[in-house]
Structure 1
Amino acid sequence: MATTRPPARQPLADQMYEVLLGQFMDGLWSPGQSLNIGALTRELNVSQTPLREALARLEHTGLVRREALKGYRVAPLFTERELIKLMDARLVLEPAMVQEAARRTTPEFLDELKESIEELRRCAAAPRSASVRPYWAADERFHLRIAAQCDNPFLESAYRSLGGHVQRFRLFTELGSSEAESPAREHTAVYEAMAAGDAEGAAKTMRRHIENAKARALTDRQAVAEA
């Protein structure tokens, strides 16, 4: 008689990474804020080893920085120049990825994109306190799914290498300060071009989406900096 193995237990360092990332997503940490390891170990009831491993992973994403003799600190806001360069990198990668993905669509792939758009739309209409984390998760899912579908591991790897920096920009964005519903409309335009098999049209709509996202990001960065 076959036996079912119990699910593998998630390593403690992975659990701490998810907890800390969740705290970032919930707005509990501010740009530049010090991360006191001693206080965190007491708050989370863990030893320093898994916590340090989790912080090292967050450092790799760009969300936190380690300073010699000072410990970890939440990364500061992007400068305007850094934000422009990040979005310019996405303008190079994402139209190329979506053009390739549009040539390889499947019903399952299109359904997954549609579900992420519907979730994004629901979150945009929900109270901010309950919607920030699922909003950005839905946004990320849309773009990552296209990266996987483009069937070019080099393009996908290049995009994923930006992941932590994109996440950093998202976490310190004031959701709602710019039109929260605009990304859902723009994702829909990309989806419709892909569903129609229009690879060039999909690339153009993705470029327009990233350019709009760049403008919104710069506006939001200014609002956060002033606050």
Structure 2
Amino acid sequence: MRFSEDSVSSPNQTENPAQSLTPARRRMNTADRKRQILDRAIQFFAKYGIDGQLRNLTKELGVTHTLLYHYFPTKEALIQEVYKEVFESRWKTEWEELLDDPKLTPEEKFNAFYLDYTNTVLTYDFVRILMFSGLSDHSISDRFFEMLRSRLLPRLIRETRKYCKRPVEPKPTERELEFLMGLHGGIFYIGMRRWIYGQAIYAPDIPNSEQEIIRDRVQSYLHSAKTLFA
């Protein structure tokens, strides 16, 4: 008698009666199984990288290649779903609304944005998958940085110019963008230290030390920008 991958037979009455007390494994519906595979794929790619072999993923899941390909016909299709789940789903339109809020000062916007951005994205899976993608085919890192360039960086440059009391209309210059990426990369490095190098941030004796580090970097960036771009 043959069974599908997710089914079990009824207990054999001739076997040990204690075995009949073991609950049968619930058959997963399509949505639950796809969700399970996606969640495990995120963990897998975060641990082993984008180049990790799918045969190792199927071993960890306890499923066949056939079942995996039923839900994700190619590895690229699976990676795209990982991107949507880990990167696109965490993107907040509230960040853009915050940076466009006329009632807040540029410094208030920078601090509020980067504090929430850090809490939202600097997770184990986000940081490691982004780094692994950059070391591999760039399929994820290129898409994410394009979102930054189109939706966030121009707003941050605009607020930097407001802080420096400069005209906000011209297109951001390469020098401005590189200077801003020094701030952005420095904040992202907090996640790298934790999830790539396994190092805790310094100043463990300072309450809310991570928030203070972000505020210090924002203040340093804005004050330096006022000097450099005056």
TM surpasses 0.5:
no
Q: TM-score, normalised by structure 1?
A: 0.31
Q: TM-score, normalised by structure 2?
A: 0.31
Structure with more contact order per residue of length (Cα contacts < 8 Å, sep ≥ 6): 1
